[in-house]
Amino acid sequence: MINGDRIRQAREIAELTQEELGEACGINQSHVALFEQNLRQPQDDTLRSIALATGFPISFFKREQAPDFPLGSLLYRKRKSMSSQDRDKVRQTGRLVFEAIANMSERFKPIDLHLPRINSVEPEEAARMTRAALGFSPDTPITHLLTRLEKNGVVIVSIPYDIEDHDAFSVWADTEPRRPVIVMTSGKPGDRQRWSASHELAHLVMHHTYTGSPSDLESQADRFAGEFLFPEEAARKDLGGSPITLMILADLKSRWGIAISALVMRAFNLGIITDGQRRYLFRQLAAKDWQRNEPVPIPDEKPRLLRKLAESIYGPNFETKDVADPLGIPSQMLKPIIASYASPADLQGTARTNPPKEKARGGLVTMLPRRP
Amino acid sequence: MTCWAKSCNFITQLEHTLEPTDFAKQSLKMLAPLGPILHRAMEPSVEEARTYLNGRRFDGYVFADLTRYHTCCRLEQSNLPKGIAFNRLPNNGILFHCDGSQARVWKADEGGELQGPGTSKSKQAFFDQSNLFSQDPRSYRYAIVWQYDFQTGLLTLSLACPKQYDEQRPWNNVECHFYIPFQHAAFEVSAAPEFSSPEPSVDDIDLKPRRKIQESGDDGSND
């Protein structure tokens, strides 16, 4: 029995439309639609063509339904700038990796979930409550954020796609028990990664029922992330007193792991600077092109769980196919996914640093014309 | 190549190339520690001067003097690295001794260039380096030229090596061997080590195998 949902999953991961898959298999788009809705079963030769076109083995299409993986925060984050093809690919790949994690996790006791679900409080208060629930101190920088979240029962799904303007989304996966999942794309600097994870955490904690406009929800999530990563008391202490300058912001980024532009917004949201000062600082960032190329690179983090599960089941020197074969996932597809998770060596502190995309400016000699 | 030929070659290189010369790079490298020191001291000082003049009639001299005043106060309070000394000169002038060399700090003119010495004999003496042919950057005197853009709020610092001033028109800009900008000191700042080093409290995820249902009578869940 072929599972139509798997055909759709493979097609969307392969970034094919129904029409394109039909063309590759010599069938009509309507046939693909019927297969995907389980209203019709493909012939063996058609199935082979589908496998060839999508890069998935035939065994994958015979697998049972994957855990339900709603769109979650994909419904309202950066939708305008993200194509539906990218969105489907990200969601289906996230779903696949989550399935791998869920399958392997069945052999182990569930990790205790400490993430609260909070209603009817201001985002800042929700952030403080979440810090407390996760066992974080109320006023110090949070390092190793992804690992700490995993140890508190949040599943971090890392997918090795660098999609511009899309960093992460989150869902409560429909498993038993339900699990909070944050799906993160790669290739982003550590500070942006930390902000995205905190932003998604806000959706998981506060927005399990979707009420309000997407922009309101996004704004609330940003307020939560600001308080979660840089609590008000510490922010007032560190940003108050002397004038806020680029050097001060660079020092604070180094200590708190938050982008300089986010620090400016935090100062503004807390009323430490006026709107005029906010615009003044953003003009400086724009003039220096720091909005694209900020100084003080923060090392990016890798989650750990997928790799830890594989090591625990198949041994420390497991091979990709050990994980891929039981799930019918192509090994070559899973390899970069596993590589985006931390190995024991990574945990020992060999963290990587994202270099700035462009070399810092400076050093050009200007020879001025002689004066008459 | 003789020493004289080397010197001529060096000067020719300085005068005809637009790329950073070795000499300019060496000079910048030698005085690089001054960049972060000045950025840290001058950025808030500029803001304080700006704030003071906000709502008052703008006076460029007052602005520059206030900036220098606050900068001097900050420099006096800061712990400078070994090998760097700061001297507060009359009228809040700023002089550094760094690695055997001298560097003065001056505000640029509107075109970003070093302003002429006017009738100041000490400035004239400082700027006159037309007869120097040494390739040792420590043999030269330098000017750190600061510029503030009121539109963007940007403070930029450049290292200049004065060559000579115009004796007939001493208010004209000083001719320099080179100008080279300091990279903003924020690029010298690194992430706190806690972000990359392992933390004892964040050890590996602890996975506990489920007990077999037949043996325990439950699924082992600790939920």
Beta-carbon separation of A366 and B180 below 8 A: yes
What is d(CA B105, CA B74) in angstroms, rounded to the nearest whole number? 15
Beta-carbon separation of A365 and B178 below 8 A: yes
Over range B104-127, report the average pLDDT: 91
Residues 148-167 of B with CB under 8 A from A: 149, 151-154, 166
Sketch out chain A's domains with CATH numbers: 1-65 (1.10.260.40), 67-372 (1.10.10.2910)
pTM: 0.84
Minimal Cα distance from B175: which residue of A? A370
Beta-carbon separation of B152 and A109 below 8 A: no
Beta-carbon separation of A143 and B195 below 8 A: yes
SS3 (DSSP) at B30: helix
Please report the pLDDT score of residue A73 as a whole number: 64
Longest alpha-carbon distance in chain A: 89
Q: What ipTM was assigned to the predicted interfaces of this complex?
A: 0.80
Beta-carbon separation of B179 and A368 below 8 A: yes
Strands of the sheet containing B141-149, edge to edge, are B84-89, B93-98, B101-107, B141-149, B154-164, B175-181
Distance from CA of A148 to the nearest CA of B (A): 7
Beta-carbon separation of B24 and A110 below 8 A: no
SS (H, E, C) chain A: CCCHHHHHHHHHHCCCCHHHHHHHHCCCHHHHHHHHCCCCCCCHHHHHHHHHHHCCCHHHHCCCCCCECCCHHHHCCCCCCCCHHHHHHHHHHHHHHHHHHHHHHCCECCCCCCCCCCCCCCHHHHHHHHHHHCCCCCCCCCCCHHHHHHHCCCEEEEECCCCCCCCEEEEEEECCCCEEEEEEECCCCHHHHHHHHHHHHHHHHHCCCCCCCHHHHHHHHHHHHHHHHCCHHHHHHHHCCCCCCHHHHHHHHHHHCCCHHHHHHHHHHCCCCCHHHHHHHHHHHHHCCCCCCCCCCCCCCCCCHHHHHHHHHHCCCCCHHHHHHHHCCCHHHHHHHHHCCCCHHHHCCCCCCCCCCCCCCCCCCECCCCCC
What is d(CA B223, CA B213) in angstroms, rounded to the nearest whole number? 16
Q: Which residue has tokens 């300019």? A: B24
Beta-carbon separation of B173 and A371 below 8 A: yes
> Which residue in B150, B157, B154, B156 sits closest to B53, CA to CA?
B150
Q: Could you tell me if B77 lies within 8 Å of chain A, comparing CB atoms?
A: no
Please report the pLDDT score of residue B205 as a whole number: 87
Q: How many other C-beta atoms are found inside a 10 Å radius of the C-beta of residue B176? A: 25
Is residue A302 within 8 Å of residue A341, measured between CB atoms? yes
Indicate the Cα dihedral angle B221, B203, B194, A348, nearest 10°. -140
Beta-carbon separation of B191 and A370 below 8 A: no
Is residue B185 within 8 Å of residue B39, measured between CB atoms? yes
pLDDT, tens digit, 9 for 90 and up, residues B2-29: 444 444 444 444 444 445 578 888 899 9
List chain A residues with CB under 8 Å of B19: 365
Q: What is the pLDDT along chain A (372 residues), one digit of tens a residue?
A: 899 999 999 999 999 999 999 999 999 999 999 999 999 999 999 999 999 999 999 999 999 887 777 766 666 655 556 778 888 888 899 999 999 999 999 999 999 999 999 988 999 999 999 999 999 988 899 999 999 999 999 999 999 887 766 788 888 887 777 889 999 988 889 999 999 999 999 999 998 776 777 788 889 999 999 999 999 999 999 988 788 999 999 999 999 999 999 999 999 999 999 999 999 999 999 999 998 889 999 999 999 999 999 999 999 999 999 999 988 899 999 999 999 999 888 877 544 444 444 333 444 454 444 443
What is d(CA A191, CA A184) in angstroms, rounded to the nearest whole number? 13
Contacts of B63 (CB under 8 A, 6+ apart): B49, B50, B53, B148
What is d(CA A195, CA A225) in angstroms, rounded to the nearest whole number? 6
Please report the pLDDT score of residue A84 as a whole number: 81
> How far is CA B39 from its chain centroid?
6
Sign of the C-alpha dihedral, residues B61, B62, B65, B71?
Answer: negative
Bridge-based pairing state of the strands B84-89 and B141-149: unpaired
List chain A residues with CB under 8 Å of B205: 111, 147, 150-151, 304-305, 308
Over range B96-113, report the average pLDDT: 91
Tokens at residue B178, please?
A: 């080179």
SS3 (DSSP) at B105: strand
Distance from CA of B210 to the nearest CA of A (A): 5
What is d(CA A118, CA B60) in angstroms, rounded to the nearest whole number? 55
What is d(CA A302, CA A306) in angstroms, rounded to the nearest whole number? 11
Minimal Cα distance from B43: which residue of A? A245
Q: How far is CA A173 from CA A98, A124, A179, A211, B84, in A?
A: 9, 25, 5, 19, 59
Is residue A235 within 8 Å of residue A266, measured between CB atoms? yes
SS3 (DSSP) at B3: helix
User: Which of B196, B203, B221 is most worth mutating to test chain A (most A CB atoms within 10 A of its CB)?
Assistant: B196
Q: How far is CA B164 from CA A31, B128, B167, in A?
A: 83, 5, 9
